[in-house]
Structure 1
Amino acid sequence: MIIENDVEKRLIRKVKALGGLTFKFTSPSTKGVPDRIVIFRGGVIFIELKRPGEAPSALQRYWLKELAYQKVNNYVISTFEEVDKFIAGLIGGNG
């Protein structure tokens, strides 16, 4: 069974292989913020990681919507296939 940590490790490994950076994101005074920040070719992207089949909580959806309102790219990734699609988008300039 795939868990969230497996998906996160794949994301980290693939971003690093491209020469990008990924940081664990925590905000002690603000709950529900995305799990990771990916920096690649001048872009900054926030990633909310979930295990397969799991959806973001209401608070997580709120912060993803707020980031989108600020024109900040953000994604919810919950499977290996979604990691691979995200990476393909980075390579293609659609991150």
Structure 2
Amino acid sequence: MNEKHIEKKLREAVRGMGGIAAKFVSPGWDGVPDRLLLFSGGKAAFVEVKKPGGKLKPLQQKRKRQLEALGFKVYVLDGIEQIGGILDDIQTT
């Protein structure tokens, strides 16, 4: 299973819940998470998708800390079995 497959499953699951899994690109601010998840009720979170067992690069770790310091949820997803738990967590916070 590769990163692209995991990301596709994430997009499908979010869409199935009525949400948006926008590709997050920020020119001039490297290391940002891959996806911005948006749901009704103003619920939002960032997701960095990795291949199974993949780790964040140092700049990605920094961006994760920065976003979390601002109060955003940031998840690292490296397997489709994690998708349900991540989406449940976003909905309950």
Q: Normalised by the shorter chain, which TM-score bucket?
A: over 0.9
Instruction: Give the distance between the partners of 2:90 and 2:44, measured in 1 at CA.
Output: 11
Misfit runs of 4+, over 4 Å:
none
Aligned identity (percent) is 32
**Partner residue of 2:85?**
85
With normalisation by structure 1, the TM-score equals 0.90
CA distance in 2, matches of 1:71, 1:28: 22
Query: What is the 5 A alignment of 1:13-24?
Result: 13-24=12-23
> In structure 1, what residue type is equivalent to 2:12?
R
- Indicate the residue corresponding to 2:58 in structure 1: 58
- 3-state DSSP class of the match of 1:75? strand
How far off its partner does 1:77 sit? 0.5
**Rounded Cα–Cα distance in structure 2 between residues aligned with 1:30 and 1:20:** 25
Give the gaps of 5 or more residues in structure 1: none
Output the amino acid matched with 2:5.
Answer: D
Q: Which amino acid aligns with 1:3?
A: N
Cα distance in 1 between the residues matched to 2:39 and 2:69: 21
SS where residue 46 of structure 1 aligns? strand
2:36 maps to 37
Instruction: Give the aligned CA root-mean-square deviation in angstroms.
Output: 1.1
Unmatched tracts of structure 2, length 5 or more: none
How far apart are 1:59 and its partner, in Å?
Answer: 0.3
User: Following TM superposition, by how much is the alpha carbon of 1:51 offset from its aligned partner in structure 2, in angstroms?
Assistant: 0.5
Q: Name the one with the larger helix percent.
A: 2
Q: Map Cα deviations across residues 28-77 of structure 1 (whole Å, 9 max, x no partner).
A: 11111000000012111111110100101000000000001001111111
